[in-house]
Amino acid sequence: MTFNGTRLLGRSSIAVAGLVIAGSLAAGCGDGDGDTAPVPATPTEGGLSLTFPSPTSAEVPNPDEVTPAAAAQLCDMMRAEVDNWREQGAIVGRVSFNATVHNWALRNGGLNDAVIADQTIVDTATIQECPDVRQQVLETLDIDDLASGLAGF
């Protein structure tokens, strides 16, 4: 089959693609015990069948947990911005700080919910990972703790 002179996928390619998509969707519906569950597939001319393993609990990130890698990333993001915040002044800097924390939380599996539930996790993470950067941010934004500098969480 062609469209505007370009050859499109044939029926057999579409059938295989459909089976791959169906298998991927069905793989997410396991019973949670980590066992590999066979995915039923309609056999085609070549007798194709697909089997996908279910993810283990170790492979599924906890969206409410700040990992050491996530804490390090927050420190790196704040370190890169602290001079800009100093130039902007405390009030404008706080707005930018909020955007940085939202961006960081989004990049790390949607930690926004965890930050909303407990804004002090930002302080806890930075106290453990980069107390020097945290102190610079506190002084620059004229706040007592990072949690008090968060608005909109």
How confident is residue 65, by pLDDT bands cut at 50, 70 and 90? Answer: confident
Least trusted range by pLDDT, from 83-87, 140-144, 148-152: 148-152
Q: In whole angstroms, give the CA distance from residue 22 to residue 52.
A: 11
The domain limits of the chain are: 2-53, 68-149
* Cα maximum dimension of the chain: 70
How confident is residue 137, by pLDDT bands cut at 50, 70 and 90? Answer: very high
Q: In whole angstroms, give the CA distance from residue 25 to residue 112.
A: 27
pLDDT at position 60, please? 45
Would the pTM count as exceeding 0.85? no
> Which pLDDT tens digit goes with each residue over 10-56?
444 444 444 445 444 444 555 555 555 555 555 556 666 656 565 55
pLDDT at position 1, please? 47
pLDDT at position 51, please? 62
Q: Treating both helix axes as pointing N-terminal to C-terminal, what angle do 90-107 and 68-88 enclose, rounded to 10 degrees?
A: 160
pLDDT at position 8, please? 45
Is there a contact between 137 and 86 (Cβ–Cβ < 8 Å)? Answer: no
pLDDT at position 46, please? 62
Query: Is 3's pLDDT higher than 90?
Result: no
pLDDT at position 150, please? 92
Mean predicted confidence (pLDDT) in 122-147 = 96
* Phi and psi at residue 152, to the nearest 5°: 85, 5
